[in-house]
């Protein structure tokens, strides 16, 4: 498989989409990307597993990292993609082969960018956080990721989404005492007890703080509930899983303390905690980028890999073609013009 | 396997316990019971599947039915049973090989009882109601069960438990609208919505009505709850299963109407409904029996097969050795004296 990085960016997107690359199966696409980049003399190319990194070394005063993942969620009869009326339909068109195509084209066609550039293409973004290819690079090759500012090419409707909110999942276990349901007063009903947890959730007023000029919007929700032993037994345990999405003015520790205070008296286990990232739009490279691409900036509400860059002290934003609300849907689609616009704006800024 | 029906009733109980007869596996014990009963000239013996019926035909003015199930819940390393200090330990000692042994001994040793007697030993009591051997006899051989009064030998601490409460299970489905949990306000959380169902359950005051002189005690409980799609998705459905135990002054239809009124506005599906049975202690045979065995009568709170006799218009009570609270527990045990007392009282009444 040979990729043409200098032709039409929409054709390149189509080629990338049509290489199946569901998480765990990124070898073919990583091989194709690596081999296409190795053909470019102005780039140093590195590889770790199915992550490929390429970078210029022009001695520019600042370095911008452009990053995107190569994997997709499972295919749902939506490959190969179709193009009708200049719209691409199918898996990966939104999340995020368009963004990857834009970066590859920049890598190939801009040998002398005004900032040094590092391109990061990685595996396992769509699955458990511990498998993340970017997480692996952060742990094992942080030097490969060094830079002053990072742009993650996740779909953002080609507007800039700054930072990201954190996410935390806790399990609340409500105990009870089992009894035959014909003599229910001998037991304590754990599902009824969980009603008190739901009361707190129903009464909760989520914050909408402004952080570095962007308005975030938190959320606190039960995402799973499970309880019960048998149709004739008073349940002795009920478990409620709660997901807290918190603005980046709150650290992971603060988020945990907040939930422990809110659910005081309940047994809580933290199962997952990924802090957010402040938008970092006070950085010169970030400001310059925002101005170059049109100035519209919104807060990123979901957790994204910008938080992994924040972990390395690198401010990062989300900027890529495609409507994020269509990501993972069976009818994922992306207007070709979004991809062309995104490429043109980045080329103008970096050229 | 030959059963000795005329020796020690405790030894007979032990022999019956040591024939494994978990529901669905009653053939060996039914064969043994049938063959022992066929050896008795004063009884007519009938068989359907693993249910065995035997009856006298002495032309007495009234007929009493003595019934008990042959199956047990699964064995938990508690067979063969052990006897220490005159206490029987192991599966079936309480539920209900003791009761079966008492009836078999009456069948063998009382050729001329003062009421005509029908003995009913049946399969599949401990599993889904539709499998019940007694239910099968009610449907296919109601004439075999004809009688004026029935005694079910289920464990009742050797006191008389009159009638039984009904039981009903409904599934309540609370809808929501799925959304990514990072933008939770775009969805409607079905688990939070189920909080309103739990509110009704937590506030509910169960009735304790007196029916035919016995006090019953109702209960309304969530027995299972289930909801949630994924850790980052606002759940679009939550299901709550509710078990209603209702006193026998309320019919199945009335019980259903009550729940539909209580949970008005929610989507309800009735999954199981078994009406109770009034104690029927106004019947002469019933009064005579209660006086003969000592006069202590309590309301039966759990649903039992007395309701199947009620369906045929035959008043029925529960009376058998063993503590019903130990039924189905891994440390099921029964004092041998309970079994002997039970036998002695029944023999005295019927002899």
Residue range B256-285, pLDDT digits in tens: 999 999 999 999 999 989 999 988 787 787
Residues A40, A46, A52: CA angle, nearest 5 degrees = 85
Residues of B contacting chain A (CB within 8 angstroms) = 165, 167, 169, 180-185, 189, 191-192, 194-195, 198-199, 201-202, 217, 219, 221-235, 238, 240-241, 243, 245, 272, 301-303
Binned average pLDDT, 10 residues per bin, chain A of 351 residues: 94 98 97 98 98 97 96 91 96 96 98 96 91 96 95 90 94 94 93 98 97 94 94 93 97 97 97 89 83 86 91 90 88 95 94 90
Mean pLDDT for B160-167 is: 92
Distance between start and end Cα atoms, chain A: 29
Q: How far apart are CA A295 and CA B147, in angstroms?
A: 90
**Chain B: nearest CA to A310, how far in angstroms?**
19
Rg (CA), chain B: 23
Degrees (nearest 5) of the Cα angle B63, B64, B69?
A: 135
Residues of chain B with Cβ-Cβ distance to A232 below 8 Å are 167, 223, 243
pLDDT band at B230 (very low <50, low <70, confident <90, very high): confident
CB B80 within 8 A of CB B17: yes
Query: Nearest to residue B163, comparing CAs of B313, B281, B38?
Result: B281
pLDDT given at position B14: 98
Is B71 catalytic? The answer is yes
Whether B325 has a pLDDT exceeding 90, the answer reads: no
Q: Report d(CA B251, CA A105) in Å as an integer.
A: 75
The string over B133-142, giving b where at least 16 C-beta atoms fall within 10 Å of a residue's C-beta and e elsewhere, is: bbbbbbeeee
| Cross-chain residue pair A234–B226, CB shorter than 8 Å | no
Query: Scanning every residue of chain B, which has its alpha carbon at the shortest distance from the alpha carbon of A188?
Result: B221
Tokens of B333: 């045990």
Does the distance separating the beta carbons of A243 and B222 come in below 8 Å? no
How far does the CA of residue B181 sit from the closest CA of chain A (Å)?
Answer: 7
Average pLDDT along chain B: 94
Maximum C-alpha span of chain A = 80
Look at A223 and B232 and tell me if their CB atoms are within 8 Å. yes
Instruction: Examine residue A80 and say whether the peptide bond preceding it is cis (omega within 30 degrees of 0).
Output: yes
Question: In DSSP terms, which residues pair with B180 in a beta bridge?
Answer: B233
Look at residue A311 in the predicted model and tell me its pLDDT. 87
Q: Identify whether A250 is preceded by a cis peptide bond (ω within 30 of 0).
A: no
Q: Is the dihedral of CA A263, A268, A272, A275 positive or negative?
A: positive
How much helix, strand and coil, in percent to the nearest 5, is found in chain A?
30, 30, 40
Angle of the A336-350 helix axis to the A284-293 helix axis, nearest 10: 130
pLDDT for res A294: 82
Q: What is the dihedral of CA A79, A84, A86, A89, to 10 degrees?
A: -30
Residues of B in contact with A240 (CB under 8 A): 191
Q: A324 to chain B: nearest residue by CA?
A: B180
List of residues 6+ apart from A56 with CB closer than 8 A: A42, A43, A44, A111, A113, A116, A117, A118
Nearest by CB to A191, from B169, B225, B245: name it: B225
ipTM summary value: 0.81
- What pLDDT does residue A288 have? 87
Among B157, B176, B186, B225, the strongest candidate for a mutation testing the A interface, having the largest count of A CBs within 10 A, is B225
The structure tokens 């007979």 sit at B12
Confirm whether B154 is a catalytic residue: no
SS3 (DSSP) at B136:
helix
| CA–CA gap between residue B209 and residue B217 (Å, rounded) | 7
For position A17, what pLDDT does the model report?
A: 98
pLDDT score recorded for residue A270: 96
Quote the pLDDT of residue B180: 87
A vs B, Cβ pairs < 8 A, gives 148
d(C-alpha B167, C-alpha A181), whole Å: 9
* Token pair of A92 as six digits: 């990966």
Whether the predicted pLDDT of B191 surpasses 90: yes
For residue B28, pLDDT beyond 80: yes
Chain A residue with CA closest to B230: the answer is A223
Please give the pLDDT value at position A230.
86
Interface mutation target, options A219, A236, A273, chain B, most CBs of B under 10 Å = A219
In the numeric block, which tokens belong to residue B54? 């035997």
Question: The whole model's pTM is what?
Answer: 0.81
pLDDT at B288: 87
d(CA A92, CA A122): 14
Which region, left, alpha or beta, applies to residue A24 given φ > 0 means left and ψ of -120 to 50 means alpha? left
B182 to A165: CB separation less than 8 angstroms, yes or no: yes
């Amino acid at each position: 498989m040979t990729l043409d990085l200098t032709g039409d960016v929409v054709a390149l997107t189509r080629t990338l989409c049509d290489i199946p690359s569901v998480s765990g199966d990124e070898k073919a696409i990583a091989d194709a990307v690596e081999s296409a980049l190795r053909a470019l003399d102005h780039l140093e190319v590195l590889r770790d597993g199915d992550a490929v990194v390429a970078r210029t070394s022009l001695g520019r005063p600042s370095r911008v990292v452009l990053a995107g993942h190569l994997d997709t969620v499972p295919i749902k009869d939506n490959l190969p993609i179709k193009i009708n009326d200049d719209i691409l339909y199918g898996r990966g068109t939104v999340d995020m082969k368009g963004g990857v195509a834009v970066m590859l084209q920049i890598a190939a066609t801009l040998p002398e960018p005004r900032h040094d550039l590092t391109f990061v293409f990685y595996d396992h973004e769509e699955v458990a956080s511990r498998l993340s290819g970017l997480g692996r690079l952060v742990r094992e090759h942080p030097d490969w990721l060094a830079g002053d500012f990072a742009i993650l090419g996740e779909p953002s409707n080609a507007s800039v989404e700054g930072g990201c909110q954190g996410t935390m999942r806790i399990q609340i276990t409500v105990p009870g005492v089992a009894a035959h349901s014909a003599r229910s007063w001998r037991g304590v009903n754990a599902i009824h007890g969980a009603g008190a947890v739901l009361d707190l959730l129903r009464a909760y007023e989520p914050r909408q703080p402004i952080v570095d000029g962007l308005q975030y919007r938190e959320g606190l929700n039960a995402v799973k509930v499970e309880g019960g032993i048998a149709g004739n037994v008073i349940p002795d345990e009920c478990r409620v899983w709660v997901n807290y999405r918190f603005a980046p003015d709150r650290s992971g520790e603060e988020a945990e303390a907040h939930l422990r205070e809110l659910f005081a008296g309940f047994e809580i286990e933290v199962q997952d905690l990924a802090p957010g990232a402040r938008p970092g739009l006070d950085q010169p490279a970030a400001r310059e980028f925002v101005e170059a691409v049109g100035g519209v900036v919104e807060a990123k509400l979901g957790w994204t890999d910008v938080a992994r860059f924040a972990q390395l002290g690198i401010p990062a934003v989300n900027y890529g073609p495609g409507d994020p609300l269509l990501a993972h849907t069976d009818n994922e689609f992306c207007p070709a013009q979004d991809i062309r616009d995104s490429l043109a704006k980045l080329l103008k800024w970096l050229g």
